[in-house]
Amino acid sequence: MFDILQSDIVVMQELKIQRKDLRDDMVLLDGWDAYFSLPKHKKGYSGVGMYTRNSACAPIRAEEGLLGFLPSSEASGVLYRDMDEKESIGGYPSAAQLEGLGVDDPTALDAEGRCLILEFPAFVLLGVYCPANSNGQRDDFRHGFIRALDCRVRNLTKLRKRVVLVGDLNVNRDEMDGASALDDRRKGNISHEEYISTPNRRIFNQLLLGGEVVGERDEDREEGVLLDTTRHFHPERRGMYTHWEQKINARPGNFGSRIDFILVCDAMREWLKDANTQDGLLGSDHCPVFVDFHEEVALEDRQVQLVDFMHPVATLINGNRETQLAPALSAKRMQEFDRRRSIKSMFAGASVKTAQPMTYTARQQKEEHMDTQAERAMEESALPPITPMRSPSAFDVAPAVTRITENAQSPTSLQSVSDLKPIVDLKRKPAVATSPRAMKRQKSNSTIQSHSRPSGQQSLRGFFRSASGNGTVRDTASAIISDAGVDPINDQLPLTTSVAELTTGNCTSAIDAIQTSDTMLEETASSISKTLAPAPTIPGGSPAREASPTNFEARAATHHSWNSLFSKPAAPLCESHDEPCKSMQTKKKGSNQGRSFWMCARPLGPSGQKESGSEWRCGTFIWCSDWGGGKK
């Protein structure tokens, strides 16, 4: 995400998370610091976050809250507004100002996670998420918040600090910044003077440089202090919106509003290089807004590199950026993330460190060498005598056939007796005791099992025993063959041969015997297939029922009836476009709350109204209860 935005400072609003929801990929980002102001009481509500690139900037102070009534992380619980002036950002409203703001509980206002403030050597950055218009339910709180924001910004300006205000302010300047406002003006529902004179909009316009105000300006707001950067570069652009209502799918038709701003003080006007919206980036009901500063900026009577001005002086030594401890509000200094690194940094650091080889003492190496020699000697002496064994069943012959046939056909299979190795059953237990290591490597695969449950780990064959205890899956297969009237396969076929038999030519007879077993297997499978096949119609008996076309059509009709009974009805087609409608549900309280209806699936147009005969949403509306899936 940060590579796409190509920014050095990223400000986010409306995070809707709690501290326990923070993950490593949100905090432990290589080359970045993270700061969060999250709601203290409400869950999944508001929240502001900031990410700063370490190579481009370094905050010297950080705090959350607008009025300074939250305990500081730096001063062990002391309120931000009560800290020493050299340690705090400053600009907190005085007692007289607080009384005029109309805020009932300043601590509750700061605890909603709506303001995060970082101070750099160059400026003070405020990331803000103002309360939205909630149908008049929190108008007093919303009005008090924007008044407090205006007061804090003006106080910081009086301290001769440069101020940058970024965030979702949930208010626009005039009709140009709202599609719905333009529609209301066309309908004559509201005048221009009435629109820009609403309480929150009036305060906002008085805060802006060049903001339009009707009548006399308020006391202590005689002049504007912040510049609207986006409108500064695009003064006449219309439709420059940053928010679109998702419920009505208003973004494709660009029926939105501009409520996200980047505002800077007038002293930074010459620093600006570009500012714009990024409405092409999807994923939210808002789009990003950015501002770009010049790399070299004017500072009083000299030109300085902005990257140097964004770091404390002590952190730049001989052209190298020295890392200092981030402010206590940094997420990396939280208890759950402190002194931790990301996985990426761990792998990056692995190339610097050299792996230390594991060393052994001479005594350990000698003991291990002796154990290995003793183990090999005991394994060689533990080979059992070469004796024919009884085949477990005919189904185990296939792998043995392939193995022996390849050995017999190989040009090097019939060599001198001294070069040949006997074929032994490596699955049998050795006749003599072996070392513990050798016994761990050997697999116990005994063909005779006792009725009692064996101790230790069982073999795989034990899981396929029948309920009787001695029988296995092979017994079941033999029973099926017997029931089918087929003779069981001769299970006396030897699977191993001695060296003498190989030299005297008896190997051929063993191969012939196994090939004969293959033939018997094929005959057995054929007999089973015939046994399981449906019996032909017997003369004089009841003939087999055949599927006639009439029966097939009846079954198809029944299948279609059941499908139509349990499937949803097809969506109706809209009136103007003959396209399938989409189903929606009424959320508004009243007699129709919870009812579903069909409407045109296309988005609203720039007018924000349903249109007939255009490419935008038409006026089709059908209650789902009135639609049975038939034709309109």
Residues annotated as catalytic (active site), given as ranges: 129, 168, 286
Helix/strand/coil for 209: coil
Residues in the chain: 632
The C-alpha atoms of residue 263 and residue 92 are separated, in whole angstroms, by 20
Q: Is 170 annotated as a binding residue?
A: yes
- 155 annotated ligand binder: no
Residue 550 belongs to what H/E stretch?
helix 549-566
Residues 396 and 528: their CA atoms lie apart, in Å, by: 18
- The DSSP-derived string for 141-159 is HHHHHHHHHHHHHHHHHHT
Instruction: Provide the H-helix boundaries in 410-505.
Output: 436-441, 473-483, 499-503
- Distance, in Å, from the CA atom of 15 to the CA atom of 262, rounded to the nearest integer, reads 19
Residue 66 near residue 47, CB atoms below 8 Å: no
Core vs surface per residue 252-264: b (16+ CB within 10 A) or e: ebbbbbbbbbbbb
Which stretches within 258-340 are classed as H helix?
306-309
If you search the block for the tokens 């690139």, which residue do you land on?
A: 53
274 belongs to an annotated ligand binding site: no
Element (DSSP H or E) covering residue 520: helix 506-532
> In 288-421, which ranges are E strands?
289-293, 296-299, 302-305, 316-317, 320-321
Residue 314 CA: distances (Å) to CA of 121, 123, 165, 307, 323: 12, 17, 27, 14, 10
Count of beta carbons in the 10 Å neighbourhood of residue 574? 23
Is 193 marked within a binding site? no
Quote the CA–CA distance of 628 and 461 in Å, as a whole number: 60
Backbone angles phi, psi at 50, to 5 degrees: -135, 140
Pairing of strands 163-168, 124-129: parallel
**Is 8 assigned to a binding site?**
no
Map residue 370 onto helix, strand or coil: helix
Comparing C-alpha atoms, which of 18, 17, 15, 19 is closest to residue 336? 19
In contact, 253 and 603? CB cutoff 8 Å: yes
Contact 484, 533 (CB under 8 A): no
With residue 623 as reference, give the H or E element that holds it.
strand 621-623
- Residue 65 burial class via C-beta count within 10 angstroms: exposed 0-12, middle 13-18, buried 19 and up: buried
Which amino acid, residue 212?
A: E
- Residue 583 DSSP SS3: strand
Nearest to 583 by CA among 631, 623, 629: 623
Annotated binding site: 14, 168, 170, 285-286
Annotated binding site for Mg(2+): 14, 168, 170, 285-286
